[in-house]
């Protein structure tokens, strides 16, 4: 592990982050939450906002997939995703709901450069709440060609963060 040059927990906490906030809107699975923590660490996001009934650390099932990322990613809890969106907007973030919706924009067609971005990801079954979609500046959609036209939330977070960070 030393050869990989990984930052310590303390170094990661103090390191420069990308101007990206990930907002989880009523995500039910602790394993998905843990995975999003780990992915958020990997892409050095500014913060992770856990909303509604999304499980909170500490919990062993979150830790099982987060592998310590709950200590390296700044996080907050909000009663609702709209409260989280309001907080992010007040901090100067543009808000994108990641959802298949009428008039959504394909992920690769959005220019993220020089913007602070907050991304809202929704419940595993219901998606992003209608209230959060209405509070967002727009919807991003991951292009897909299979029969299911949906991805697990933890995979969707990785795909979107990769595309955003790649373009920075």
Q: State pTM to two decimals.
A: 0.95
| Residue owning tokens 């543009």 | 94
pLDDT tens digit string along 94-153?
999 999 999 999 999 988 778 999 999 999 999 999 999 999 999 999 999 999 888 999
Determine the length of the chain. 168
| 3-state secondary structure string across 125-165 | CCECCHHHHHHCCEEEECCCCCCCCCCCHHHHHHHHHHHHH
Query: Per-residue confidence at 2, pLDDT binned at 50, 70, 90?
Result: low
Is pLDDT above 60 for 31?
Answer: yes
Domain-wise residue ranges, the chain: 2-167
| Cβ pair 50, 76 in contact under 8 A | yes
Which of the four CATH numbers 3.30.56.10, 3.40.50.720, 3.40.1280.10, 3.30.465.10 does domain 2-167 have?
Answer: 3.40.1280.10
């Amino acid at each position: 592990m030393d050869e990989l040059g990984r930052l310590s927990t303390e170094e990661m906490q103090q390191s420069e982050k990308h101007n990206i906030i990930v907002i989880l809107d009523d995500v039910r699975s602790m394993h998905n939450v843990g995975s999003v923590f780990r992915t958020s660490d990997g892409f050095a996001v500014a913060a992770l906002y856990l909303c509604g009934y999304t499980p909170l650390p500490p919990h062993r099932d979150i830790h099982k997939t987060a592998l310590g990322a709950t200590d390296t990613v700044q996080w907050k809890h909000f009663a609702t995703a709209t409260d989280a969106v309001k907080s992010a907007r007040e901090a100067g973030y543009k808000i994108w709901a990641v959802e298949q919706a009428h008039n959504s924009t394909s992920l690769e067609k959005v220019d993220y450069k020089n913007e602070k971005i907050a991304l809202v990801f929704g419940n595993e079954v219901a998606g992003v709440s209608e209230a959060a979609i209405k509070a967002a500046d727009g919807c991003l959609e991951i292009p897909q060609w299979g029969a299911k036209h949906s991805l697990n939330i933890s995979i969707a977070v990785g795909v979107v963060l990769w595309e955003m960070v790649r373009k920075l």
